[in-house]
Chain A
Amino acid sequence: MTGIVPARRVEMTDGIVVGGAVTGSTWQQLAGLTNWLRGKGAVLVPHCTPFTTIAAAASETFRFRVKTRSSAIQRVWVVTMSGVGGTASVQLQAPGTGGTVVDAAISDERTTVVYVENLSSRSGAEQQIEFEVNCVAGSNSVGVSRIACYEQDRPVLQSDSTDYGVDLFTCASGQPIYDGANVSVGGVYDALVNADARRVGIFHWTQGDSTAAATASGTPADLLQLAVPVLVRKLARSATTGSVKWAAYAKVTAGTGTITLTHTNNAGTFTDSASVTGTSYAWTSARTVSNFDCDDLDVADGRQSSTWDSLNFQISASGGTLTVQSISVWQDD
């Protein structure tokens, strides 16, 4: 048995009358909706723009940190590149170690490559995901201008305690109602209790290693020219704010580097800082920042006011040089 995932969101067409019976068609719609919630893929990396140029015989690994969804079996990487001064020959791989190597010829016009990464297991853990571009020896250089990554949609879910796919037929009118795993109303309950329809990727910044942002200055400097918009999903009924997690992939030559998230909302500006002391690249521990506006479902565009919630990052160093290769912001609840 498997749980069929509708291609479109399922609407509830039958009302539920308190005091009456809940019809089989209502349960079937609920089962379809819970399958859709889990089967429709999440965007792990909204389009970001590394603008990194890779020379012949060199490679670059673009790293991102997120908490993936356990229902994903494939990640789809959408990467736009262009050859510098002519066609470039590249090898693409995700992950950078152990992934399937794909050869591609990248013209001097922007070329978008869609690379499908088959996962070896389903995992909902916080982890690094990565995409490697290797520019072949003797080739023209290649510029990487845009990267995005999403979880592939699933047309069917497994009937197990990872996918929580519900067999739609077992919810049809005339079928017995019972508390079984992945079937009938018990399956719907389990699927809902374990639902994961997160807005995963919020913002990512990366430039790869060779062109990573570096500073030796003790004066904090903005990493971005503008603060980027952020709105998180609403959880509880009365919620007006929500939280994100963030981490940076960075190192210092000596001393301490500081990366500060600056968050501006209607109530003011808030900051949260991570220290970097390692001399080899590593992710900082994921930090949780609350107080971001969540969607206001009574407003057409979901914003709680005409002011956009936004964030920027500042970097500085003391006693050495801080180098930042990637920063990731994601939701894990």
Chain B
Amino acid sequence: MATSIYEGRLLTGRTWDANAAADARHVRDIVQNNALHWADESGQVLVNFVQTSLSFDAGGGGFAENPVEYNEWRHVVSFGPFPVRLRQNGDTYRFRIRVAGSTPNEGNGKIRVVVCPQTEASGAVQLSTDYVFETATLGADDPTPRWLTGASLGSNAWTTMIYAPASVTSDWLTTTSTLTNVSGNAVSVEQCLVSFNVFTYTTTSTASDEPGVSLDGLYIAEYIGT
């Protein structure tokens, strides 16, 4: 939800006068409101892809693994890392999420998306938290890509959002080298670098050269959220 008073930018015909005091109402309604609104709406789109139509596809299709070892979560692909936005309490902004998938062959299954550094994803995928999102189960031989329903696995059980709380992001902070300015001096910046790690789970083994569940689209965008 919005942190600004008016949930939008307010314009004013007034200009800043060096010789006049800034009255409190003006500072509250214009300066503070607008700054908070810009911050609320500063979230970025991080991932936005779907499969190209088959007639124009360069040969990639979706992301899938052959489920030789079925009945377990298998890492398929990771998107990122990205330095995501943190609230002052250390929580990430919420991430709006939408997942598309299909089952090109006889295996049925489902997809999980985990927000965390890629090195921690294999463990995190097993957790029941709001930084893990699980889709509904796809039936076998359901080869047409479509957007899937799902929910985060934590207490919030959001159907369109996930997020990582401060309790975990504090362990994910890292420093990255950058510059002070164009051609400037080296300096470090603190960031919370996370990836969006995709796992699939099938309940049936398929032929050795056939993929199981296919990730056919993924949309993830930061949003100030609740």
**Stretch of B66-74, B126-134, B217-225 contacting A (4+ beta carbons < 8 Å):** B217-225
User: Is chain A's binding surface mostly helix, strand, loop or mixed?
Assistant: loop
Name the interface size band of chain A: 35 or more
| CB-contacts of A218-260 with B (<8 A) | 221-229, 231, 233-239
Count A-B contacts at CB 8 Å: 276
Residues 185-208 of A, flagged 1 when their CB comes within 8 A of B and 0 if not, give 110110010010111111111011
In whole Å, how far is B168's beta carbon from the nearest beta carbon of chain A?
15
In whole Å, how far is A124's beta carbon from the nearest beta carbon of chain B?
14
- For B41, give its contact among A52, A199, A227, A315 (CB under 8 Å): A199
Residue with the greatest number of chain A CB neighbours at <10 A, chosen from B39, B51, B57: B39
Q: Are B179 and A73 in contact (CB under 8 A)?
A: yes
Q: Name which residue of chain B comes closest to A207, CB basis.
A: B58
**Stretch of A97-105, A130-138, A150-158, A282-290 contacting B (4+ beta carbons < 8 Å):** A150-158
**Stretch of B1-9, B105-113, B205-213 contacting A (4+ beta carbons < 8 Å):** B1-9
Q: Name which residue of chain A comes closest to B47, CB basis.
A: A47
Q: Are A226 and B50 in contact (CB under 8 A)?
A: yes
User: Is chain B's binding surface mostly helix, strand, loop or mixed?
Assistant: mixed
Q: Chain A contacts of B49 at CB under 8 A?
A: 46-49, 228
Q: Chain A contacts of B80 at CB under 8 A?
A: 47, 78, 148
Alpha-carbon distance A47/B173, docked complex (angstroms): 22
Q: B137: CB under 8 A from chain A?
A: no
- Given A53-B59, A297-B224, A153:B83 Cβ within 8 A: yes
In whole Å, how far is B121's beta carbon from the nearest beta carbon of chain A?
13
Q: Are A234 and B60 in contact (CB under 8 A)?
A: no
Q: Chain A contacts of B87 at CB under 8 A?
A: 8-9, 11
Q: Chain A contacts of B189 at CB under 8 A?
A: 5, 7, 152-155
Residues 1-21 of B, flagged 1 when their CB comes within 8 A of A and 0 if not, give 111001111110000111000
Alpha-carbon distance A295/B24, docked complex (angstroms): 29
| CB-contacts of A31-54 with B (<8 A) | 33-34, 36-37, 40-43, 46-53
Q: A267: CB under 8 A from chain B?
A: no
Q: Are B58 and A53 in contact (CB under 8 A)?
A: yes
Q: Name which residue of chain B comes closest to A296, CB basis.
A: B7
Q: Are B39 and A33 in contact (CB under 8 A)?
A: yes
Q: Chain A contacts of B78 at CB under 8 A?
A: 112
Alpha-carbon distance A75/B114, docked complex (angstroms): 25
Alpha-carbon distance A23/B177, docked complex (angstroms): 35
Q: A279: CB under 8 A from chain B?
A: no
Q: Chain B contacts of A231 at CB under 8 A?
A: 96, 221
Q: Name which residue of chain A comes closest to B94, CB basis.
A: A301
Q: Name which residue of chain A comes closest to B100, CB basis.
A: A226
Alpha-carbon distance A227/B218, docked complex (angstroms): 11
- Given A295-B223, A297-B224, A16:B6 Cβ within 8 A: no
Q: Name which residue of chain A comes closest to B55, CB basis.
A: A221
- Given A118-B179, A226-B50, A148:B16 Cβ within 8 A: no
Known A156-B187, A189-B16; 20 more pairs at CB < 8 Å = A7-B86, A8-B87, A12-B3, A22-B24, A36-B39, A43-B46, A46-B45, A46-B47, A50-B58, A53-B59, A73-B184, A119-B182, A155-B180, A155-B187, A197-B38, A201-B44, A205-B52, A225-B51, A235-B8, A295-B223
Name A's B-contacting residues (CB within 8 A).
2, 5, 7-12, 16-22, 26, 30, 33-34, 36-37, 40-43, 46-53, 73-74, 78, 110, 112, 114, 118-122, 143, 145-146, 148, 150, 152-156, 158, 178-179, 185-186, 188-189, 192, 195, 197-205, 207-208, 211, 213-215, 221-229, 231, 233-239, 295, 297-298, 300-303, 308, 315
Q: Can you report 23 residue pairs joining A to B where beta carbons are below 8 Å apart?
A: A8-B86, A11-B3, A11-B87, A12-B3, A16-B24, A19-B24, A42-B44, A43-B45, A46-B48, A47-B49, A110-B77, A118-B179, A143-B60, A153-B176, A155-B187, A204-B48, A225-B50, A225-B54, A234-B37, A239-B8, A300-B225, A302-B96, A302-B225
Cβ-closest 7 pairs across A and B: A51-B60, A237-B8, A211-B58, A213-B56, A179-B18, A297-B2, A43-B44
